[in-house]
């Protein structure tokens, strides 16, 4: 039996300041709230003192942003899914973002060690008028430390409830997925960035966002590489 840990974070606006309250069970914590952007945006760093997940571990993170709240949540380092003898290590994130609230879910990468059995899930529930920017970054193994990802499975699930779903299984034995030009093409890191609203986006804003994204991609040194 592994670690079973839960963390609930509630964000609300009081006297024009975004404040947070939290309840936790097990080895899952949040550091002191920070306000580098001013009182309206609460920055939080999630920490898992065991520094990684092994088979049988399960982390449950529940986020609730009330109307007008704005939270940025990150981690101090990678979420490490270590090798397993068969049991699955799991992380489940559920976020509820109320009207006119904004969530920035920006953890550092999930690191899939060789022989891991992992399930990494994040589901976002967006109310009308809410906003979300989130990313999911997965690194496979430690190839530069002679610890490549050659055994194990990593299951991903990224969802905006009722609107969008991306999920997949990365199996270390699936050579077509890992090495095909239509797959990862030999790369060991894959990521997804999402910007969404709880209502239809104005055409002008959509065009501006797409233009900025294309400009950033076209200036990146890896722009011509697939995977």
Mind listing the pLDDT tens digit for each residue in 78-133? 999 999 999 999 999 999 999 999 999 999 999 999 999 999 999 999 999 999 99
Give the pLDDT score at 227: 44
Q: How far apart are CA 121 and CA 136, in angstroms?
A: 10
Q: How far apart are CA 81 and CA 188, in angstroms?
A: 15
Residue spans of the chain under pLDDT 50: 227
Give the pLDDT score at 161: 97
8 Å CB contact between 128 and 198: yes
Give the pLDDT score at 90: 98
8 Å CB contact between 78 and 108: yes
Give the pLDDT score at 172: 98
Angle (CA) 24 101 71, round 5°: 45
Q: Where are the domains of the chain?
A: 4-201
pTM comes to 0.93
Tokens describing residue 24 = 């936790």
Q: How far apart are CA 99 and CA 82, in angstroms?
A: 38
Give the pLDDT score at 1: 67
Q: How far apart are CA 115 and CA 46, in angstroms?
A: 25
């Amino acid at each position: 039996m592994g670690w079973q840990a839960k963390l609930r974070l509630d964000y609300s606006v009081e006297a024009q300041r975004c404040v947070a309250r939290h309840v936790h069970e097990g080895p899952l914590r949040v550091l002191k709230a920070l306000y580098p952007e001013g009182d309206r945006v609460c920055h939080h760093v999630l920490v898992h003192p065991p520094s990684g997940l092994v088979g049988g571990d399960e982390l449950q993170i529940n986020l609730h942003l009330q109307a007008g709240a704005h939270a940025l949540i990150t981690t101090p380092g990678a979420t490490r899914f270590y090798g397993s003898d068969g049991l699955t290590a799991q992380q489940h994130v559920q976020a509820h973002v109320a009207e006119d609230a904004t969530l920035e879910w920006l953890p550092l990468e999930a690191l899939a060690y060789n022989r891991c059995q992992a399930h990494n899930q994040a589901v976002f529930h967006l109310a009308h008028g809410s906003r979300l920017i989130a990313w999911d970054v997965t690194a496979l193994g430690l190839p530069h430390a002679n610890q490549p990802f050659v055994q194990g499975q990593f299951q991903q699930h990224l969802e905006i409830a009722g609107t969008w779903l991306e999920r997949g299984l990365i199996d270390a034995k699936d050579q077509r997925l890992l090495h095909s030009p239509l797959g990862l093409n030999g790369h060991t890191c894959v990521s997804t960035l999402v910007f969404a609203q709880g209502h239809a986006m104005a055409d002008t804003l959509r065009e501006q966002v797409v233009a900025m994204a294309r400009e950033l991609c076209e200036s990146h040194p890896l722009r011509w590489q697939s995977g």
